[in-house]
Amino acid sequence: MGQRDEPLKASFMQTVCRHRLCLPLVFLGMAAGIVTTVPVVLLSKSVRDIFPPQMKWWQTTVLYQIYPRSFKDSNGDGIGDLQGITSKLDYLASINVKAIWISPFYPSPMLDFGYDISNYTDVDPVFGNLTDFNELVKKAHSLGIRVVIDFVPGHTSSKHPWFQNSAKKIEPYTDYYIWANGTQLQNGTRMPPSNWVSVFEGSAWTWNNERQQYYYHAFLPEQPTLNYRSPKVVQEMKDTIRFWLDQGVDGIRADAVAHIMVYSDYYRDQLLSNVPGAQPYQRSYYITNLTDNQPELHTVVKGWRDVLNSYEDSKDDDTDTSKALIVEVYAPPEIRNIYFDDGADMPFNFDLLTALNSSKFCDALCIRNVVQNEYDTLPGGKWANFVSNHDNHRASTRRGARDIDAMLVLLLTLRGTPTIYYGEEIGMEDVPVSYNETQDPPAQRLGPARYMEISRDPERSPMQWDSSPNAGFTNDTVRPWLPVASDHSQVNVKSQNASANATTLKMFRELAFLREEPSLRYGLLTFCKVTPNILSYLRAAHEMTNYLVVINFGNETVTENLSGDPVNKGLGRIKVSSTAAANEGRFVTDRTVQLSALTLKPGDAVVLEL
């Protein structure tokens, strides 16, 4: 290979080095005395993982949250169930969802709809049985879909045998929960040990007549908090994780981790926060450092990671057997990122959801700042994530139908794992629920004047599958557990799939498949032009096709020049666009457009191939 062979050598290097790490190897040419080098593809697994990055399954997919009560009813009782989920797995595979997160389906009195668990290792009859769950996992895996389950480690139901035995001081359950004596006043009045307040308002201490002590509950009185200073409790919860891993689950999402431990002195009062307008029965009235994010809980989380690691197989092939540990913690980056050190793969990041749901409008500059903060504060080598879920109003309701597509384009093109709440792929919004229709127990307790302050029913309405009276969620002869949206005859899976026009579902599917591209999978994100109206950013990976994302989050039609640095291209080819722009013929797939004068109406979003 002499000088005339340099182009061939360069081409060869470009080809084999694109997806592998290459090192030079001395090559003896055919001509005597000529020594040159050619690249060698290192095939050992340890080196092959270096470039491009070998990513875990939870980094490369949309994580799709399913609230079982609301997804699909298979037996006609008006409540969704496990068989209903199984029946819709083909649909999820068709939109390139490769991981689902299922909210609690365990036996429960349902005072917090499954987050008050009376048996950690079974299925509530309203959702089916263990056989149904095993069939769900089997079918999901056959379709290449991973299964993550909600793990509720901090509290049980007061109906759980552990609590009932603890109240009786029956060993080994005596110290399974947090018990304290309280204070007896001179007039005979009994007072709780401290001023700690529950998430659902009111004292976090409830008197138990049988044991003659108070017990602590971070949430409802019917949800007593477990005592993680008891080694027996720590072991019980590890065994719970093992049980579900034995059923084939691929990961756990640990609920409300910040609340699983409290300060060791139960009699110490919280200091006042001095938040304007806060009332003594509300958590915001206090600085909750005695009840949230205690240092000792990190040892507990590390123990869960150890259990998950023990189920990962070490194989010298491309099989990804990793088990995901996701933790829910509403906290700023300096607190939530500590959980990375415990072995958490993703401490849920709610910052973008909070900003979009804020009563103060978050414009494109605001969104850029929130996203940039996630990247800036992320520890080295860790992976970002952006969340929507069942405890918050759908962001589409706050922003309005105009911005639904824009928000989906944002979530599915950011660098990191997006969690998509069921129905968002078709543009579902919150459904108004009257007090008489309210099912959420904490909201019911506040009464008709205040129930909407905390009700989570509006975002938990039944999935809209078709235009039939009950949206295909359940039989038309029964009443769904929550009202179906009034717009379901237009906003549903079947109609959007069948439409000759562009739809939100079609756009979602295109985005979900486009995410397979290297630049959108692992490429860097560089913000381009950002104004109060326009958010734009480049997704780029070395020697790969790059993409420019442009979204108008404002209220004005704008024309922008995006051809300059860092894009440095004059033309872009449309790959995905919001439905209104597509249906109006302004952004047509595969059409080439000038980046020097790109016009977007409010709510427009476009992904351009460069």
Catalytic residue among 81, 328, 342, 459: 328
* Structure confidence at residue 46 as a pLDDT band (50, 70, 90): very low
The confidence score (pLDDT) of residue 356 equals 87
Domain finish residue from 485, 508, 531: 508
* Structure confidence at residue 391 as a pLDDT band (50, 70, 90): confident
The confidence score (pLDDT) of residue 319 equals 84
Give residue-wise pLDDT tens across range 294-319: 999 999 999 999 999 999 986 656 78
- The helix/strand/coil state of 420 is strand
Any domain includes 15: no
Is the model more confident about 379 or about 47?
A: 379
The confidence score (pLDDT) of residue 396 equals 80
E strands, 363-440, are 385-386, 417-421
pTM (two decimals):
0.89
Residue 147 belongs to what domain range? 57-151+349-508
**Which residues lie below 8 Å from residue 32, measured CB to CB, with a gap of 6+?**
none
Please check whether residues 431 and 482 belong to one and the same domain: yes
The confidence score (pLDDT) of residue 26 equals 33
Give residue-wise pLDDT tens across range 312-354: 986 656 789 999 999 999 899 999 999 999 999 999 999 998 8
* Structure confidence at residue 38 as a pLDDT band (50, 70, 90): very low
CA nearest 574: which of 594, 559, 589?
589
Please check whether residues 450 and 539 belong to one and the same domain: no
Give residue-wise pLDDT tens across range 198-246: 999 999 999 999 999 999 999 999 999 999 999 999 999 999 999 999 9
Any domain includes 303: no
Q: How far, CA to CA in Å, does 135 sit from each of 96, 362, 439?
A: 20, 43, 29
Domain finish residue from 444, 477, 508: 508
Number of domains in the chain: 2
Please check whether residues 377 and 431 belong to one and the same domain: yes
Any domain includes 82: yes
The confidence score (pLDDT) of residue 395 equals 76
| Percent of the chain topping pLDDT 70 | 91
**Which residues lie below 8 Å from residue 418, measured CB to CB, with a gap of 6+?**
62, 63, 385, 386, 387, 411, 412
Is the model more confident about 10 or about 382?
A: 382
Please check whether residues 364 and 445 belong to one and the same domain: yes
Please check whether residues 463 and 592 belong to one and the same domain: no
Please check whether residues 492 and 529 belong to one and the same domain: no
Please check whether residues 440 and 498 belong to one and the same domain: yes
Q: Is the dihedral of CA 44, 49, 54, 57 positive or negative?
A: positive
Above 60 in pLDDT, residue 526?
Answer: yes
Above 70 in pLDDT, residue 2?
Answer: no
Let me know if 466 is a catalytic residue: no
Any domain includes 115: yes
| Percent of the chain topping pLDDT 90 | 81
Please check whether residues 480 and 543 belong to one and the same domain: no
The confidence score (pLDDT) of residue 76 equals 96
Domain finish residue from 452, 481, 508: 508
If phi > 0 it is left, if psi is from -120 to 50 it is alpha, else beta; for residue 23 that is beta
The confidence score (pLDDT) of residue 187 equals 77
Any domain includes 6: no
* Structure confidence at residue 442 as a pLDDT band (50, 70, 90): confident
Let me know if 328 is a catalytic residue: yes
Any domain includes 287: no
Above 90 in pLDDT, residue 445?
Answer: no
E strands, 422-476, are none
Catalytic residue among 250, 255, 345, 459: 255
Any domain includes 22: no
Please check whether residues 385 and 436 belong to one and the same domain: yes
Q: Backbone phi, then psi, for 574, in 5-degree steps? A: -70, 125
Please check whether residues 560 and 483 belong to one and the same domain: no
* Structure confidence at residue 19 as a pLDDT band (50, 70, 90): very low
Any domain includes 244: no
Average pLDDT of 425-450? 92
Please check whether residues 504 and 546 belong to one and the same domain: no
CATH number, residue 532: 2.60.40.1180
Work out the mean pLDDT of the chain and round it to a whole number: 90
CATH number, residue 479: 3.20.20.80
The confidence score (pLDDT) of residue 316 equals 59
Please check whether residues 491 and 580 belong to one and the same domain: no
Residues 585 and 19: their CA atoms lie apart, in Å, by: 37
